[in-house]
Amino acid sequence: MDTGTHIVMGIALGGLATLDPVVQSDPTLFHAVLVGTVVGSHAPDFDTVFKLKNNATYIRHHRGASHSLPAIILWGLLVSSVIYMFVPQVSYLHLWLWTFLAVIIHVFVDLFNAYGTQAFRPFSNKWIAKGFINTFDPYIFFLNVAGICAWSLGANPGYTWITIYTVIVLYYIKRYMDKREIVKKIHEYYPDTVEIATSPTMKQNYWRVAITTKDKFYVGTVENRHIEIVDEFWKVPLPDTPIIEVAKTDKNIEAFLNFSPVYRWEINYFDSFTEVRFIDLRYRSKTYYPFVAVVKIDENMEIISSYTGWIFSEHKLQSKLYVGDPTT
């Protein structure tokens, strides 16, 4: 989920904590728990700091180790321990339990969007992306905001959040059923389907899909359960050539291949260099595929420049790859 949703969910969990008699009877503990649930609800995304280094490091690590099983335990201990240093008179057990729950919920809800997480590390490095909740879902966000408003106006926080989260759970079930129906229809049209990547949008009735069959990739949209294929590409394996081997050693290409399960590739030849481009097919926007990895390799098989990330125009991409003349 996005940062805003994680924060309002942290506030919601702080309100739900008032159902705990120990928290309810101790105002200092309640405020400590509220801080713990808000910070804990965002803590796994502290790995965003990797973006300060470069996109490759960020893509390689975001929602990876920071969302793993050991990290979930460590985040709960770390956040609650830091808060406990300032209020040692409160019950550490209850502070830790609610903070730990906030971290768990953060990682759990991240499983359901198209980006996903590596939540089962160290046992498995597989990305888990269920793809039926948008990264920012306005229904989930504003239900939480409504709960915060009701709480601030005097509603009982515990019962308020029980009601709201019952609705949210039902909403998750509904979205899961929507996805299941889409997947079922795709299998009817393409019986040889190997994999289906679904990406819900903020519109309830509009989805993006990337379909992998034995021979082709199909990119399409689903609106009101009607499937429309907008692009198709032959499924061509990467050639075993020196230019590809060099490309795969680049950190940006390596990060992309580690993250993207559905992509196509192309090689473009120019006078003084060769460009190898990898294009993720899950995130088509209008007529453009914004998530890419590109590397330029010169005639001596040396990497000139490379980039991976979200780019919404070819001009912007080339500006990221531009290397000035070293003689000027």
pLDDT exceeds 90 at position 217 = yes
pLDDT at 328: 32
Query: How open is the CA angle 209-213-214, to the nearest 5 degrees?
Result: 165
pLDDT-based confidence at residue 133 (cuts at 50, 70, 90): very high
Residues 170 and 228 both lie in one domain: no
Instruction: Show the domain range for 144.
Output: 3-174
In a domain, 67, yes or no: yes
Residues 211 and 137 both lie in one domain: no
Residues 35-57 pLDDT 10s: 999 999 999 988 887 777 777 88
In a domain, 104, yes or no: yes
Residues 230 and 246 both lie in one domain: no
pLDDT-based confidence at residue 324 (cuts at 50, 70, 90): low
In a domain, 220, yes or no: yes
Residues 160 and 297 both lie in one domain: no
Residues 9 and 73 both lie in one domain: yes
DSSP string, 46-83: GGGGGGGT-HHHHHHHTTTGGGSHHHHHHHHHHHHHHH
Residues 6+ apart with CB under 8 A from 160: 15, 147, 150, 151
- Which of 4-8, 137-141, 319-323 comes out lowest in average pLDDT? 319-323
Kindly state the average pLDDT of the residues 167-186.
Answer: 95
Residues 11 and 158 both lie in one domain: yes
Domain count, the chain: 3
What are the residues facing 233 on neighbouring strands?
217
pLDDT exceeds 60 at position 248 = yes
Residues 95 and 131 both lie in one domain: yes
Domain boundary among 123, 140, 174: 174
Q: Which one is predicted more confidently, 286 or 305?
A: 305
| Long-range CB contact pairs, 255-260, < 8 A, 24+ | 255/55, 255/56, 255/57, 255/59, 255/60, 255/293, 255/308, 256/59, 256/280, 256/292, 256/293, 256/308, 257/293, 258/59, 258/60, 259/59, 259/60, 259/127, 260/291
In a domain, 273, yes or no: yes
Kindly state the average pLDDT of the residues 262-286.
Answer: 92
Rounded Cα distance between 91 and 315, Å, is 57
Residues 19 and 160 both lie in one domain: yes
Kindly state the average pLDDT of the residues 255-263.
Answer: 90
| Long-range CB contact pairs, 265-273, < 8 A, 24+ | 265/236, 265/238, 267/243, 272/298, 272/299, 273/297, 273/298, 273/299, 273/304
In a domain, 144, yes or no: yes
Kindly state the average pLDDT of the residues 261-267.
Answer: 93
Its pTM surpasses 0.85: yes
Q: Which one is predicted more confidently, 58 or 140?
A: 140
Residues 200 and 157 both lie in one domain: no
pLDDT exceeds 60 at position 282 = yes
pLDDT exceeds 50 at position 325 = no
Kindly state the average pLDDT of the residues 142-148.
Answer: 94
In a domain, 180, yes or no: no
Residues 20 and 82 both lie in one domain: yes
pLDDT exceeds 70 at position 327 = no
Kindly state the average pLDDT of the residues 12-25.
Answer: 94
In a domain, 328, yes or no: no
Residues 149 and 206 both lie in one domain: no
In a domain, 326, yes or no: no
Burial class from Cβ neighbours inside 10 Å (0-12, 13-18, 19+) for residue 171 reads middle
pLDDT at 103: 97
Residues 199 and 99 both lie in one domain: no
Rounded Cα distance between 136 and 133, Å, is 8
Task: Report the percentage of the chain scoring pLDDT > 90.
Answer: 74
Residues 63-119 pLDDT 10s: 888 899 999 999 999 999 999 999 999 999 999 999 999 999 999 999 998 888 888
